[in-house]
Amino acid sequence: MPAHHHPARKKFTRFASKQPFRFGLPNVSAELTQASDNSPSYLTRTTSLLRQQVLANAPSVKIISDTVHPDVLARDGWAHTDFDRKRVLFLIPDDAIGDCVGMALFLRAFAVKYPRAKIAVLNSGSASDIFATLSDVTVFQLFISAKRLKTFDYLIDFSEMEGWKDIATMPVNPEEALCEAFDISPIPLASKRSPKLAPGARIGILPMASSPLRTLPPALVREIAEFLAKAGFDITLILNAYQGVMKKYKDTIGPFDQPNIRIVDGFKTIGNLVSFISEQNYVVLADSGPAHITKLFQTPGIGIYSSASPTVLQGRHQNLLPWQSTYKGDFCEAPCGLAKLRATASGTIGCMGSLGLPMSELINLPANSDKALAEQLVTESPVPCVAALVEHKDRFFTFLRKDLELQT
């Protein structure tokens, strides 16, 4: 029985160009830059940066349509199709690091089941370097030509996975969900976690997340860095220069005297971040994209969780030991499940604990970002489940010491 196809959920833009062109995102490795190939037309996701920022203003470009829905293999056919020796193009619905790590782990499993399939991904955007860690996977970070599109036997739209639209309030595990949808076993994981480190071992601390609900308190970050440096390890504190709160956050942590602590303001590309994590012997990090990247290499360490639970986020991966905030208050308790700040009907931004309001009054996602508020939330820790990490730090350091088998 032939597999059923239907139009992709996401809209794509078909465009043509009179002039040759090259394009790549500034935070993606240069070797993943794409070039035109004299094709009569090209396809990009309508919400991609290429469509929204470049094509709209490029004089040599003609937008043919903004409502293209390419035919994709229906969701109910994923588990029943033999992809042996087939060319398969996966449409990536977003470039959130955690989602894309899960998709990349699934693609590893797909390649094990179908070693003779040719695999490619389209519209991986700023997460393209994550897919570039896979051998023999072609990465189209921003567009594909009509010529290349014709060479694929199957297109598969990952946005057909139920639940991803709710990720702001309910985390999902893409690796697990996709393996189940395709009836494929996940790749086996390293059998043993071995965090005992030699003096001078490399430890990365990555405390910043995209939300103040998940960014670690500066006072705790400082103490962790000093504690590990004193224990004789080589410490690198990685911040995120792309986040507007970074400078204030860095100033609040303050400078260090120890020669074996260095601070890096951030990496130019996600590829640099991926390489850094692959080189670390151990990590201590917030609930963030880098925590997911550790799954690619099974880097051991501790993941520190506040508003979200590690159970879904870490899934079957045991390389990070979870440390969960134990805050309980009148309006919420950790983990509440929120990944991002919320807003009241009048536009006040925060969470249940920071505003002293029940969830029923925090009905919207914020319409605008508020840099001053974000700075205040990450440097003064008015998010109670985050502040509780400092209040209970003695228990945390006992936990860290035990994991690294350090003497008290």
| Residue 167, pLDDT score | 43
Q: What percent of the chain lies above the pLDDT cut of 90?
A: 76
| Residue 168, pLDDT score | 40
Each residue's pLDDT tens digit, 36-65: 999 999 999 998 888 888 887 888 899 999
Domain extent listing, the chain: 5-182, 202-326+386-404
User: Which residues, including other chains, have CB under 8 Å from residue 380's CB and lie 6 or more apart?
Assistant: none
| Residue 267, pLDDT score | 94
The region that residue 221 occupies, defined by phi over 0 for left and psi between -120 and 50 for alpha, beta otherwise, is: alpha
| Residue 315, pLDDT score | 85
Q: What is the pTM of this model?
A: 0.91
| Residue 396, pLDDT score | 97
The region that residue 123 occupies, defined by phi over 0 for left and psi between -120 and 50 for alpha, beta otherwise, is: left
Structure tokens at 56: 């709209």
Q: Are 308 and 338 in contact (CB under 8 A)?
A: yes
| Residue 169, pLDDT score | 40
Length reported for the chain: 408
Q: Which residues of the chain have pLDDT under 70?
A: 1-2, 162-172, 191, 407-408
| Residue 371, pLDDT score | 87
Helix axes 97-113, 174-182, angle to 10 degrees: 30
In terms of Cα–Cα distance, which of 63, 88, 234 is closest to 158? 88
- Cis omega (within 30 of 0) for bond into 382: no
Helix axes 384-391, 393-403, angle to 10 degrees: 70
Separation between Cα atoms, residue 22 and residue 128, nearest integer Å: 16
| Residue 382, pLDDT score | 85
Could you tell me the CATH superfamily of domain 202-326+386-404? Answer: Glycogen Phosphorylase B; (3.40.50.2000)
